[in-house]
């Protein structure tokens, strides 16, 4: 029945039932760009994606168990999941792992990680998959597998259920995000041409600056000898006299080099187009943003990816039954660390009303945690009426008993 359903879906969407291929563009020397280099070698590209990558690395994954049937709510109840996110594998920490995934996603609109499970089906490790190509393959049962071609030429195949797959710009394909190759290619060619023009202009600044015109016929070796003597006597940096003289046999004329330097407006316009492609701007890139500007960037770039990553991890780590008991993964970020000092100080009211714990507020202020700081506080004048009456009643009974004694 499942296989028949897959065939019906394939016919509806005009999709090949066997395979779909996607090529990554971050590998070295794959010939996608005329300037024969990796996209990640561009300083403009790195500047565009670095703020997002660093912010993604600071996200904190948490296992939430919100069992409404039993009225229980727990954070990180299973140690193995907590350790999985702290150290996904023996080569990197959780922060580095998330930064690498974010980099691959920004460069290719796709990022992949292998979820390794033990014999009991529990996830124990995660590995980034830095491939040069990936192919989607369906078997006869309609199960989806991804066939990866690594940089060393090795080909490996994994079930899609064991792959953490992040994607963006999904349009032409149901599975993979569209490659940014066609959109980036003309921009990268302009950047490459501009950079080459600047380099050539700098090199040309060291060409001929003086022309000696000899008024009498001379042999080539004599011209060369007289020119070298003039250069040594008057153009050497060790000659501090500041004056030069020639006799009537030669005229010395200074040449003003007219090198082509790319127009600053063209460079700026191309850079702004790069910023627009990656949904950023010069303030974000240069860390000159205000609180509101960062919040806008966070909501448009970081938050959607955090939501997608939360959903992807939840459905790949937990079974449907486990999800039914309220198990899920969330990626949270203390975005308040980018707030102004006035906003941070105003959060004290949140602590008074138990909306934040003291240690959560201290984290915003970049202060170390304190003992018992994870317990919420609450002022008496913000308690519920029935709780207030009960507390006053117990206090009165205690005082009366004390008076009897």
Q: Is 77 helix (H, G, I), strand (E, B) or coil?
A: coil
Res. 148: pLDDT tops 70 = yes
**Of 403 and 65, more confident:** 65
Report helix, strand or coil for 384: coil
* 3-state class (DSSP) for residue 213: strand
Mean pLDDT of 63-80: 89
**Between residues 138 and 1, which one has the greater pLDDT?**
138
pLDDT of residue 117: 92
CB atoms within 10 A of CB 228: 10
Q: How far apart are CA 149 and CA 162, in angstroms?
A: 17
Higher pLDDT, 405 or 309: 309
Q: Percent of the chain having pLDDT more than 90? A: 35
Q: How far apart are CA 18 and CA 137, in angstroms?
A: 5
- The DSSP result for 231-294, as a single string, is IIIIISTT--S------TTEEEEE---------HHHHHHHHHHHHHHTT--HHHHTT---HHHH
pLDDT digits (tens, 9 = 90+) for 378-397: 665 555 555 556 666 677 77
Amino acid 14: pLDDT: 41
Average pLDDT value for residue range 118-122: 89
Least reliable range by pLDDT among 20-24, 178-182, 359-363, 373-377: 20-24
pLDDT by residue (tens digit) across 329-353? Answer: 999 876 665 566 777 777 777 777 7
Find the helix or strand (DSSP H, E) in which 327 lies.
Answer: strand 327-332
Give Cα 68 distance to the centre of its chain.
35
Long-range contacts from 63-69, C-beta under 8 angstroms, 24+ separation: 63/327, 63/328, 63/329, 64/326, 64/327, 64/328, 64/329, 64/330, 65/325, 65/326, 65/327, 66/326, 66/328, 67/325, 67/326, 68/326, 69/325
Q: How confident is the model at residue 20 (pLDDT cuts 50, 70, 90)?
A: low
Q: Could you tell me which residue, 32 or 148, shows the higher pLDDT?
A: 148
Whether the pLDDT of residue 233 is over 90: the answer is no
pLDDT, averaged across the chain:
78
Average the pLDDT over 150-161 and give the result. Answer: 90
Task: Give the pLDDT band of residue 63 (cuts 50, 70, 90).
Answer: very high
pLDDT at 27 over 50: no
pLDDT at residue 66 greater than cutoff 70: yes
| Distance between CA atoms of residues 255 and 22, nearest Å | 55
Note the residue count of the chain.
405
> Using one digit for the tens of pLDDT, what is the confidence trace for 90-105?
999 999 999 999 999 9
Range from 49-53, 174-178, 202-206, 288-292 that averages highest in pLDDT? 49-53
Strand, helix or coil at 196?
helix
| Helix residue ranges, H only, 42-132 | 43-57, 79-86, 94-108
Pairing of strands 19-23, 131-138: antiparallel
How far apart CA 94 and CA 331 sit, in angstroms, is: 12
Nearest to 164 by CA among 24, 327, 314: 314
Would you say residue 134 has pLDDT above 80?
A: yes
Give residue-wise pLDDT tens across range 254-278.
Answer: 656 555 556 677 778 888 888 999 9
Kindly report the number of other CB atoms within 10 A of residue 159's CB atom.
12
Which residue shows structure tokens 């569209």? 178
Q: What is the per-residue pLDDT for 8?
A: 35
36 Ramachandran zone, left/alpha/beta (phi>0; psi -120 to 50): left
Spatial separation of the C-alpha atoms in residues 163 and 27, rounded to whole Å: 20
Residue 189's pLDDT is: 79
């Amino acid at each position: 029945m499942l296989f028949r359903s897959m065939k019906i879906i394939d016919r509806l969407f005009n999709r090949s039932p066997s395979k779909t291929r996607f090529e990554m563009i971050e590998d070295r020397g794959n010939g996608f760009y005329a300037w024969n280099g990796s996209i990640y070698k561009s300083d403009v590209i790195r500047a565009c994606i670095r703020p997002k990558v660093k912010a993604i690395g600071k996200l904190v994954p948490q296992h939430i168990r919100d069992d409404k049937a039993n009225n229980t709510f727990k954070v990180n109840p299973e140690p193995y999941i907590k350790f999985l996110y702290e150290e996904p594998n023996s080569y990197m920490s959780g922060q580095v792992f998330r930064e690498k995934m974010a980099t691959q996603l920004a460069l290719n609109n796709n990022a992949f990680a292998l979820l390794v499970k033990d014999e009991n089906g529990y996830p124990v490790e995660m590995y980034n998959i830095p491939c040069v190509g990936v192919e989607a393959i369906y078997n006869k049962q309609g199960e989806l597998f991804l066939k990866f071609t690594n940089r060393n030429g090795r080909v490996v195949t994994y079930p899609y259920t064991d792959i953490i797959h992040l994607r963006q710009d999904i349009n032409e394909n149901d599975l993979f995000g569209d490659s940014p190759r066609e959109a980036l290619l003309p921009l990268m060619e302009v950047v490459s041409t501009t950079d080459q023009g600047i380099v050539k202009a700098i090199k040309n600044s060291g060409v001929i600056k003086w022309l000696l015109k000899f008024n009498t016929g001379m042999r080539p070796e004599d011209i060369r000898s007289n020119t070298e003597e003039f250069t040594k006597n008057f153009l050497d940096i060790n000659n501090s006299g500041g004056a030069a003289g020639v006799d009537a046999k030669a005229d010395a004329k200074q040449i003003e080099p007219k090198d082509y330097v790319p127009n600053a407006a063209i460079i700026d316009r191309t850079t702004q187009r790069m910023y627009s492609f990656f949904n950023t701007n010069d303030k974000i890139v240069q860390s000159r943003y205000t609180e509101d500007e960062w919040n806008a960037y966070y909501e448009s770039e970081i938050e959607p990816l955090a939501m997608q990553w939360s959903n992807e991890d939840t459905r790949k780590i937990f079974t449907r039954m486990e999800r039914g008991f309220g198990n899920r993964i969330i990626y949270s970020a203390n975005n308040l660390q980018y707030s102004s000092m006035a906003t941070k100080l105003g959060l004290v009211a949140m602590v008074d009303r138990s909306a934040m714990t003291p240690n959560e507020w201290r984290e915003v202020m970049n202060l170390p945690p304190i003992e018992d700081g994870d317990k919420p506080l609450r002022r008496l004048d913000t308690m519920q009426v029935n709780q207030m009456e009960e507390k006053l009643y117990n206090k009165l009974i205690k005082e009366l008993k004390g008076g009897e004694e």
